[in-house]
Chains A and B, each alone.
Chain A
Amino acid sequence: MKATASKLEHLKKQIFESDNRACFIERERILSRIEAKMADYNEPDRYALMLSSVLSEVSTPIDDSDYFVGRVPEALPDDGMKAPNRVLSSTGHMSFDYEKMLKVGLKGILEEIQQNALIKGDDESLSFAKNAEIVVAAICDYANRYAKEAAACGKLEAARALSKVPFEPAYDFYSALQGIWIIHMIASCYVGSRDYAFGRFDQYMLPFYEKAIGEGKTKEELCELLAGFFVKTNEICGRTTWNYESKPVLCQASKQYVNIGGENPNEFSFVVLEAAMLSNMAQPQIVVLLKPDADAEFTRKTFDALSVLTDKMNIYNYDLISKSLINKGIEEAVAKDFTYSACCTLDLNYHSFRREYFVPTSHVFLNSLESGKHGSLEELVGTFRELLRKNMQEYVHKEEKKFDKEKQRKHFVLDSVFLSDSAVECRYACDGDAKYDVLNLFCTGIATVGDSLMVLDKLVFREKRYTYEDFTAILKNDFAGNEELRREILSYTKFGNDTDADKYAVIAGNAFLDAVDALTLKDNFYAVGGFYSLEKDNTKCFDLGATPDGRHKGAPFSENQSPTYGADKNGITALLKSLSKLPFDRAITGGLNLTFSKKVTPETLQALIVSYFQMGGYHVGISVIDRDTLLDAMEFPEKYKSLTVRLYGFSEYFVSLPKWQQLAVLNRTEYSG
């Protein structure tokens, strides 16, 4: 056990000591050299040849403590180098079909692509197949070079594995993980994109786990291997946030999502949770798809893990979401195979290409208000719904134009090989022809809009204390000279207290979702609405005028699904009841963060979240925050390199955040018993 600890600790230490300003130096040098040289190449060959050149030239470093081999050499960028080079990158943000890769190998995938291309016979399909062949060959050569290096270092298991995988099917637990790692690393670091996710990891890894146990391996040793795999996911993404002092690599701050649970949690799901607790770093983010009536032991284990992993874990209501997807017209097998990755975003696992759009909901709301006099709340909501629809429809049109352009730029990216539905069709996954093109449409600032509707209904429409014109003029003036009115408004009970006031957020939410349903979409487009906002969108508040809920011009609007800051005064159970009133049976993307001020017991967490899901709640991510620790970390960051906190839909290293964001984390509402 001691050796385990020291090996894992050594790998972790290296990550914390790595230089966040460093880039993947060999890739950058090679690409800047060949990019100009290949500028005249016709597209069909260019991408595949460039990726081959990179993979054939880069070195194959191995660390003594590596459980799995596959590292990317790093150094500070050379003078004048514009790292990172984007020539090969795709959009990322997707889950690969590793199940298929482990079963048939790249060999099997390629054969299928080639057969289909021949059957289809068109130029585009044939060129797709040719590109796939070049890229697969390059990956295999690279894996073989790594196998030799591993043999030379005495890492015989890795050497044996890489002489077969990922070209051949995986033959055991170790070779499966080694094969996945090589592909994941090439996609993230050498192609260069972020937020590739591991899909339904516990499902496709189970057969390999069972076989290993059957052959006499212990659960402990397999768990340690997996922890070693999990630590590696931190090696590639840097320790910075996606919006602040980025590492100059294309997978910087890439979130590494591992989904488990769902319809049938298994023995290996437990091992995933244990390995995550053993490695316990910012990555991977563990997503548990939890049925409210799941196996008691699995539920217990989930919450034991949550109390350790806290901000690194997301829990979603599996039953609610799979039902909603089926209602959307998605075939059952695909609907039940959904995953979440990259900032609480819905993905149909490897079946879908995924887009996301943060709708400037609060801006649209103010525009509705200012667009002319409305005689009733219903009228106002009607205008709001219509302007939302227009705004989102415009986005859809822009996306359609964008992928026309993308199609001209590239016919092929590595990703296409691993999105099975696209691979079968021999089509580039990002061109809008994916079998399921999922648009995640996020309603930002739901509580701000809901509370604003409540105030307007009270003061203008019901009590008629202000005329429509007078009240909008007060907002225009940012409540200047009306401070007492503003204080009165702030004293009203708002969304988040389990009172009648919640109904207005529900009205706002339904207006948004009705607008989503009214969009005109291509047949393979599936629009999914949800309540979510990232701070890059919250910073849009700076140009947002005063809102009827008493919010001053330029002040932040509400985050994710949460009430406005400090508005929830009746505690967490009331908050969860308020939230469960939101139409989550229609809104299945986005997330909720809860912050606890002290160590809550796993039993209490379980009771809260299972109750929430039984009431129709959809997602929970939690933080357990000790204010004193955070304050100390602000003063002595060097002591707290590994301290993580939850932001939006994922965890980040606290000391890597800018000061304003550290303060925002400190100022959240905390719940304690």
Chain B
Amino acid sequence: MKAMSKGIIFNIQRFCTDDGPGIRTTVFFKGCNLHCAWCHNPESQSAATEWMFYQDKCTGCGRCTKLTEKDTDFVCFQDARRICGREYTVDSLLLELLKDKIFYENSGGGVTFSGGECMLQIDFLESILKKCKENGIHTAVDTAGYVPFDHFERILPYTDMFLYDVKCFDSEKHKRYTGAGNELILENLKKLLATDSSVWVRIPIIPTVNDSEEEMRSIKEFLVSCGHPKKVELLPYHAMGEHKYAALGKQAQMFSVPSEKKIRQLKNIFS
């Protein structure tokens, strides 16, 4: 392991209550090897730092017209132009994570490493997980699972739980919407469920893509055959990432938002 490894992080969100148990700090790693059509964090996809520009906030003051790629310390007074992605050492990240330790302890929470795909920065991830455990912090890793299984094996000793995304069961469809088939993902999940790890499976519900009852049943059968995750969560699609596509100069692919009734129906399949 490289002791001096650095991670590239695009957001550290304190007081998250939806990414595992209790009050958590979620660390968003930059870079992903899937490109889901519904991704609500488009800034997570590229592994490089990039500028985001929010036209609606700009007052046209002109301070940023001469910026170069190196001016990462630039602060726009309107927060209209901002750099996305910052390098952290293990120690500088740990310092951020320790800030809310008292809240983790009183709520049964901890830290969740998410992304992008945090497993793509496996050296850094392994180091920071290890540090967290040394400091008595509960750890969760949020992954789409499209990485070699030895990545899981490396972090298993320091990871208290996994949040594991399953997007759709049909590999062709999976490839069409995410850019890759799902064989490796499902195989890794099966292997992971065979370990002692606590696993919560999370399924984004995207209308017209995977919101059918058959789809959910197929996923459920697979999960049952692998020996049951601890919990299954359905995450309804939302369009809140749209403005971020615009800020990156990209075009968002839009889906409709699933109804509460639909989500209830699908949830029942897993209950």
Partners in one complex: yes
Q: Quick check: A484 and B99 within 8 Å, CB to CB?
A: no
Output the least CB separation between A53 and chain B (Å).
Answer: 58
Could you say which of B14, B78, B107, B108 contacts A570, with CB atoms under 8 Å apart? B14
Question: Within the assembled complex, what's the spacing in Å between the Cα atoms of A491 and B102?
Answer: 29
From known contacts A484-B61, A571-B13, A574-B99, infer whether A491 and B77 are also in contact, taking CB-CB under 8 Å.
Answer: yes
CB of A673 within 8 A of CB of B61, answer: no
Q: How many angstroms between the C-alpha atoms of A346 and B61 in the bound complex? A: 49
In the assembled complex, A607 has its CB within 8 A of some CB on chain B: yes
Interface size on A, residues (CB 8 A): 25
Is A87 interfacial (CB 8 A cutoff)? Answer: no
CB distance from A382 to the nearest CB of B (A): 32
Given contacts A574-B14, A673-B17, contact A610 B23 (CB under 8 A): no
Inter-chain pairs besides A600-B17, A608-B107, 8 sampled, C-beta below 8 Å? A491-B75, A573-B14, A573-B99, A606-B106, A607-B107, A607-B109, A608-B103, A611-B105
Docked Cα-Cα span, A480 to B88, in Å, equals 41
Residues of A488-502 at the interface with B, using a CB-CB cut-off of 8 Å, are: 488, 490-491, 498
A604 and B163 alpha carbons, distance in the complex (Å): 20
| Chain B residues closer than 8 Å to A574, beta-carbon distance | 14-15, 99
Complex: chain A residue closest to B61, CB-CB: A484
Question: A611 to chain B: which residues have CB within 8 Å?
Answer: 102-103, 105-107
Give A576's nearest chain B residue, CB to CB.
B103
Asked if A577 CB lies within 8 Å of chain B CBs, one says: yes
Q: What are 11 A-to-B residue pairs whose CB atoms are below 8 Å?
A: A487-B61, A491-B75, A574-B99, A577-B100, A603-B107, A606-B106, A607-B22, A607-B106, A611-B107, A673-B17, A673-B23
A582 in the interface (beta carbon within 8 A): no
Task: List the B side residues contacting A606 at CB < 8 Å.
Answer: 106
| Residue B69 lies at the interface, judged by CB distance under 8 Å to chain A | no
Which of B22, B23, B59, B79 has the most C-beta atoms of chain A within 10 angstroms of its own C-beta?
B23
* Bound Cα distance A471, B17 (Å): 44
Interface size on B, residues (CB 8 A): 24
Other-chain residue from B15, B76, B108 in contact with A571 (beta carbon distance below 8 A) = B15
> In the complex the two chains form, is A487's CB within 8 Å of B23's CB?
no
Distance (whole angstroms) from the CB of A616 to the closest CB of chain B: 11
Interface of B toward A, CB cutoff 8 Å: 13-18, 22-23, 59, 61, 75-79, 99-100, 102-103, 105-109
Q: In the complex, A600→B108 CA distance in Å?
A: 15
Closest beta carbon of chain B to A498's beta carbon, Å:
6
Min CB–CB distance A482 → chain B (angstroms): 13
With a cutoff of 8 Å between Cβ atoms, the chain B residues found around residue A213 in the complex are none
Partner pick for A608 among B13, B23, B77, B79, CB 8 A cutoff: B23
Q: Is the CB of B79 within 8 A of A604?
A: no
Q: For B76, give the chain A residue with the smallest CB separation.
A: A491
Q: Which residues of A contact B102 (CB under 8 A)?
A: 611, 614-615
Does A490 lie within 8 Å of B106, measured CB to CB? no
Q: B14 near A487 (CB under 8 angstroms)?
A: no
Select B77's contact among A487, A498, A570, A601, beta carbons within 8 Å: A487
